Amino acid sequence: MVDQRVRLPDMRTDVAQVLITEEQIRDKVAELGGQITSDYAATSVTLVSVLKGSLPFMADLMRAIQIPVTIDLMEVSSYGGATTETSGLVRILKDLSSSIAGKDVLIVEDIIDTGLTLNYLLRYLRGKNPRSLRICALLDKPARRLVEIPIDYRGFQIPDEFVVGYGLDFGEYYRNLPFIGVLRRELYETT
Ligand code: PRP
């Protein structure tokens, strides 16, 4: 039974503009994978994906890295459901499965916005005594930064627009778009 009160997204028309195409993402992921491969060539790296947003990026990036990797998954949440504003309160919904003590760890994120999520995660993961801890973020939105975050591998710097697709959601939808697009403003200004 369909709940008539809920507006389901229209995947074709809700995006005002494609900001980053599938091809641009593919090229950037290959470039980042190459850098990571050469930087960690003498060792191996543990990729820690920050779900849910980083899921497609993680899946593509790990296959663009040509050295042995292990992976782990964390899920954190800082945004409420259908909102474009961070609550500032970071919650761990799923913790690491294995110890990272003594390991070279690379956090894989889809976007750094205010920086509050990563600021929290960096402190949390440093407390688990990895040998090294770096950050790989596909998108960097510096206009909204509240805390400075050292980004070791950056995909794209983007303007202060609300973006969806390739893992990024609005109200949990649009994550499956293969590109990154700007959501039509009226969709979130009215909610
Ligand atoms: C998004 C994104 C980052 C965080 C960035 O996650 O995946 O983790 O927000 O924002 P910040 O720099 O302002 O902290 P979200 O909490 O929306 O969860 P999700 O990945 O499950 O969509």
Query: Does residue 190 surpass a pLDDT of 90?
Result: no
Q: Which residues are catalytic?
A: 113
Query: Does residue 156 surpass a pLDDT of 60?
Result: yes
Amino acid letter, 79: Y
Asked if residue 166 has its Cβ within 6 Å of ligand 1, the reply is: no
Pick from 77, 92, 86: which is nearest to 145 by CA?
Answer: 86
- What average pLDDT does the structure give for the chain? 92
Query: Does residue 79 surpass a pLDDT of 90?
Result: no
In this prediction the pTM is: 0.92
Pick from 134, 136, 81: which is nearest to 111 by CA?
Answer: 136
Q: What percent of the chain has pLDDT over 90?
A: 82
Pick from 78, 155, 157, 163: which is nearest to 114 by CA?
Answer: 78
Query: Does residue 88 surpass a pLDDT of 80?
Result: no
Query: Does residue 94 surpass a pLDDT of 80?
Result: yes
Instruction: Name the residue of 55, 74, 77 whose CB sits within 8 Å of the most ligand 1 atoms, as the mutation to test its pocket.
Output: 77
